Amino acid sequence: MLHLKGVEHVYPNGTRALDGVTLTIGKGMFGLLGPNGAGKSSLMRTIATLQTPTAGEIKFGDIDVLAQPDRLRATLGYLPQDFGVYPRVSAYDMLDHMASLKGIVSAAERRATVETLLVQTNLWSVRTKAIAGFSGGMRQRFGIAQALIGNPQLIIVDEPTAGLDPEERNRFYNLLVKIGENVVVILSTHIVEDVADLCPRMAVLAAGRLQLEGAPGELIARSRGTIWAKTIPHDALEDVQSKYEVISTRLFAGRTVVHVLSDRDPGNGFSLVEGDLEDVYLSTLTQARRGAVRKAA
């Protein structure tokens, strides 16, 4: 179990990236949603001991992460958003090298570890190929392979599907779900569909603050009665935005469908709709922006 309490991080220039994040994450897939600049990567880096928070506590099981970072690193698998430079060495040799760095000194143990990971991530057939020549999906699977060295109990993947085609993305996520059956896996992303498909629990981060947390189905249920839709001509969008709390606009058959947030019937031809996780996410961001404006006023 991962516990975060009051985690804050302020960069030297005064930017507050994290603002009192308190969160508990158990085994399985956990989705962390947020727009670019929300603080997701700062939070992932902080949990991964790559930066020290300004304030707060982080514990993983009996490990005090801030006081015992080496203990956490020994049981951590981390796939950052930008996974370094891909060298002109084979996948097999690179994993063998990384296993050595992880403390697997026995050649026989390293060989067994590397071969198991290559099979698990479906890279066995390209084990002798230079990583520099891998496709985007193959590189991400290699990233997961290196993150799994040492049988980690906490795995963090930060925006892992950027640049992947749909087939590669599905293959990658099937692998993640299988891995996440017995360990804590945190998926940090801005793609709502990925969290809806994969994660039994999730949270929304915006402006460095935890805005929402729970099971996707429960969060959708809470939004019932607040999401309204109307199809309008595109040239009417500006007028609608001036009168209603618009959370999203979508094109359908060349016309614009607007979804607005309202606790009561806004009238004027709007119809109540069953919201989805994207509506929950976008309405949460809308409310967060509204709160920020009030705070600044």
Beta-carbon contacts of 280 under 8 Å, excluding residues fewer than 6 positions away, are: 212, 216, 219, 220, 222, 223
pLDDT of amino acid 281: 94
Decide if 227 contacts 259 (C-beta within 8 A): yes
Q: Which segments of the chain are extended strands (E)?
A: 2-10, 16-25, 28-33, 55-60, 63-64, 76-79, 154-158, 184-189, 201-206, 209-214, 227-232, 246-252, 255-261, 271-272
pLDDT of amino acid 215: 95
**Residue 45's pLDDT band (boundaries 50, 70, 90)?**
very high
Average pLDDT, the chain: 90
Residue 120 has pLDDT above 90, yes or no: no
Residue 32 has pLDDT above 70, yes or no: yes
Residue 297 has pLDDT above 60, yes or no: no
User: What does CATH list as the number for 2-214?
Assistant: 3.40.50.300
**Residue 271's pLDDT band (boundaries 50, 70, 90)?**
very high
Per-residue model confidence as pLDDT tens digits over 60-113: 999 999 999 999 999 999 988 777 666 789 999 999 999 998 888 899 999 999
Beta-carbon contacts of 213 under 8 Å, excluding residues fewer than 6 positions away, are: 23, 201, 202, 203, 204
pLDDT of amino acid 293: 64
Residue 161 has pLDDT above 80, yes or no: no
Share of the chain above pLDDT 70, in %: 96
pLDDT of amino acid 10: 95
From residue 121, give the alpha-carbon distance in Å to each of 51, 181, 250: 29, 16, 37
Regarding predicted confidence, which is higher, 36 or 163? 36
The residues spanned by each domain of the chain are: 2-214, 221-296
Q: What pTM was computed for the model? A: 0.88
Judged by average pLDDT, the poorest of 42-51, 117-126, 168-177, 246-255 is 168-177
Residue 296 has pLDDT above 80, yes or no: no
Here the tokens at position 127 are 């084990």
Mean pLDDT for 43-54 is: 95
Mean pLDDT for 28-36 is: 93
